[in-house]
A and B are shown apart, each in its own frame.
Chain A
Amino acid sequence: MSATWTLTKVRVLLAMRNRMFFFFSLMMPMIFLFISIIFLRGRTGPIGNYILGDLLTVTVMGSFWGLSVQLVTFREQGILRRFRLAPVGAGPMLASSILSNYVMALPTLVFEVLVCRWALHIQAWGNPLALFLLITFGSAAFSSFGLIIASVTNTMQETQIINQLIWMGFLFLSGATIPLLGLPDWVRRISLFLPATYLATGLQSSAMGSITWGGVLTDAIGLTVTLLVTFEISRRLFRWEAEAKVAPRAKLWIVAAMVPFFLFGTYENLYGDLLNRAAVDFRTLFSTGTVAPAQQPLQSASPSEPRQPAP
């Protein structure tokens, strides 16, 4: 535990000295916010909260990109092999990446909330506890997801290509940029197999206050399972040396990492109400009034036939 803490402190220090970190973690979400403000053209109400949810989602999801690149860089530059000589294992190395990312992400996220409140004239805080839970579990889960990418790619080029592909999928299929309601039904069903969808819908609902913290339990459980599975797999596949290429057989672990997403996706497709909830939130944006109240009774509807928003 002390090794994890020692490494976390140093990683935070290094992140604070990294201009790229500030660009991607602070500037990019602000650019996203700026585009949203232009798009809103002065509209206020629940849509501000909804966009806050999206902004937080993009920031939290971005964890996977930064961590995978950092780990591969450390491996390629021979930094990891120096640590390998010290009494520190793969677990503390990976855990410190996740913790430092979380420590660095929190102020950024608070800053985003404050900027959104000011720029988007948000009146209500939504559900702060649910937001906090999802941010915490989401940051850890997506960081861990980044570590697994670093574990299965052999070069920085490979890492960047895979990151791009996954990022695009997360960004456009999770509801973080294009509302789920705007996607064709079959795409919506596929999106239920992505961990990013749980994060996006959870954060949107929490920012709008349309859900209690108990209501985001499914999302939180989904993200926690993602965290546990990906962490264990990335620990097993961890490589200290640039020349130690990942064995083709080891890539089978990726299949294992997919299992929880498959189970959650199947469950949500058959019995869940995540799409329904996303639809309700989205339609609330076009209703008059302010933020949708928490624990509003929801009408039943199938995921493909989203219900009308609560009055």
Chain B
Amino acid sequence: MAAVIEVENLYKSYGPVEAIRGVSFAVEEGEVFGLLGPNGAGKTSTVEILEGLREPDRGRVSVCGLNPQEAGNRFKESIGAILQSTNLPEKLRVKEALDLFAELYARHADTGELLRRFQLEEKADAFYKDLSGGQKQRLALAMALVNDPRVVFLDEPTAGLDPQVRREIYDIIEDLKRAKKTVLITTHYIEEAERLCDRVAIVDSGRVIAQGTPRELKHKSAGKTRIEVRLARPLANGALAHIDGVSDSREFDGAYVLHSARPPQTIVALVKQLEAEGNELQSLEMFSPSLEDVFIELTGRRLRE
């Protein structure tokens, strides 16, 4: 299948800060592709270059075969986007906002239908300033689709929203997936990437550090279970690294994170060691392998640090 979005060796700096350092990836037609990484990883800069909002320092980008920085209105007609930081005039009504943007495009969807689809009918006459965070985000999504775009960019579409609203947004994105839209989504939520994306690029400090389907990436952690424990007394660095089955041990904010291929043996050995040392287990949690584990293994840090 042909790549709709192509990024090759992309670089972008803001003064002395290198935001993007040689990012490359490609997104195929109808694919939902995720850029997963912590804040400041370079996700927004990458997506805003693809939207034509920023100029890259180096590298090549192409969306629908067009250069976003040069193609002008032809390019804008083919994309839709949710920006991370944007706004609308406070006293613009929901229906007016949709109609306004619809009129700006040569081809546009039925705004009444969009209001229904995004459950905004009741709020059609409400001012933008009177909408809740979730309603504003639903409106932003509706506006991103007002021109029935071929490619949709969603920059942190659920950031700061409560779980209920987040699930509603997930349903909408899954609708886009079913409608075979090409979607590029940036997120720092693991579950979002795992649930929505066909493929994911894990981004850290301006670089893509891993790329593949969520399943492929999780296999990189070799099916190891993550065990998180909190202890009554702190331990020295690496004190749990030699416990039976443990392949990796790190400390984050007072919690010890162990990766183990044999969790039962690891837990038994852990309890024995703590008893021998006169230490006490305060809490223990087990997690099946996730993209978070891949990120920890690759960077030594948690995604939301």
Q: Which residues of A contact B (CB under 8 A)?
A: 2-3, 6-7, 10, 13-14, 17-18, 74, 77-79, 81-82, 84-88, 240-241
Contact = CB atoms under 8 A, between A and B. Distances in A.
A79 B81 contact: no
B212 to A, nearest CB: 30
A44 to B, nearest CB: 43
Nearest to B92: A14
Contact of A82 (B73, B86, B105): B86
Contacts of A87: 72-73, 76-77, 104-106
Interface string B78-112: 01110101111101100010001101111000000
B76 A86 contact: yes
Contacts of B101: 86
A77 B69 CA distance: 23
Contacts of B192: none
B73 A81 contact: no
A138 to B, nearest CB: 27
A82 B53 contact: no
A85 B91 contact: no
Contacts, number: 57
B230 to A, nearest CB: 41
Given A85-B76, A87-B72, A241-B53, 4 more contacts: A78-B85, A81-B86, A82-B83, A87-B105
Given A81-B53, A84-B53, A85-B53, A2 B103 contact: yes
Interface of B: 51, 53, 72-73, 76-77, 79-81, 83, 85-89, 91-92, 96, 100-101, 103-106, 143
Q: Which 6 pairs, one residue from A and one from B, show the smallest C-beta to C-beta distance?
A: A87-B73, A17-B91, A87-B76, A6-B103, A82-B86, A86-B104
29 contacts: A6-B100, A10-B92, A13-B92, A13-B96, A17-B91, A74-B89, A78-B83, A78-B85, A78-B86, A78-B87, A79-B86, A79-B87, A79-B89, A81-B53, A81-B85, A81-B86, A82-B83, A82-B87, A84-B53, A85-B51, A85-B53, A85-B76, A85-B81, A85-B83, A86-B76, A86-B104, A87-B72, A87-B77, A240-B53
A82 B76 contact: no
Contacts of A10: 92, 96, 100
A3 B86 CA distance: 20
Contacts of B76: 85-87
B89 A14 contact: yes
Most B CB within 10 A of own CB, among A74, A77, A85: A85
Contacts of B72: 87
Nearest to A88: B104
A79 B128 CA distance: 12
B87 A6 contact: no
B83 A3 contact: no
Contact of A14 (B53, B91, B103, B143): B91
A10 B103 CA distance: 11
Contacts of A13: 92, 96
Nearest to A79: B87
A85 B87 contact: no
A81 B52 CA distance: 11
Contacts of A18: 91
A86 B145 CA distance: 12
Contacts of A3: 104
